[in-house]
Amino acid sequence: MQYMCLIYADPTIAKSMTPAEMGAYMGGYRDFTESIKTSGAMIAGDALQGVETATSVRVRDGKTVVTDGPFAVTKEHLGGYYLIEAPDLDAATAIAARIPSAKHGTIEVRPVMVWDK
């Protein structure tokens, strides 16, 4: 099965890190990405620019409305994702638990919809 791991974290945590902490944090992400590439679980993954760069698009009555920012007012923002292949939910959550942001943020694990062929 394919699972989308959505990484939600408080961006102020990364901003308040010392350079040494930041180095270790980024190194953790590099090691994690490398390990799931080697194991074959990785399909895709990216970090996203901060929520202050987000733009929302809606089409209402045929008119496209573009506005600044997202809707959410929560402290944790979507900061990145991994799309992974795993045999079941236990395997997927075991991988998600190794994403460095899981230590302070939340990883939402969602199965990818499979359409009838």
Residue 98 within binding range of other proteins, rule CB under 8 A:
no
Residue 117 within binding range of other proteins, rule CB under 8 A:
yes
Select from 32, 43, 38 the least CA-distant residue to 95.
Answer: 32
By CB under 8 A, name the one of 35, 72, 89, 104 that touches other proteins. 89
Residue 116 within binding range of other proteins, rule CB under 8 A:
yes
Residue 60 within binding range of other proteins, rule CB under 8 A:
no
d(CA 114, CA 71): 28
- Which value, to the nearest 10 degrees, does the dihedral of the CA atoms of residues 34, 35, 38, 43 take? -70
By CB under 8 A, name the one of 70, 93, 102, 108 that touches other proteins. 93
- Give the nearest distance from C-beta 82 to other proteins in angstroms: 16
Instruction: Estimate the share of the chain in helix, then strand, then coil, as percent rounded to the nearest 5.
Output: 35, 35, 30
Chain residues that interact with other proteins, rule: CB under 8 A: 1, 3, 86-94, 111, 114, 116-117
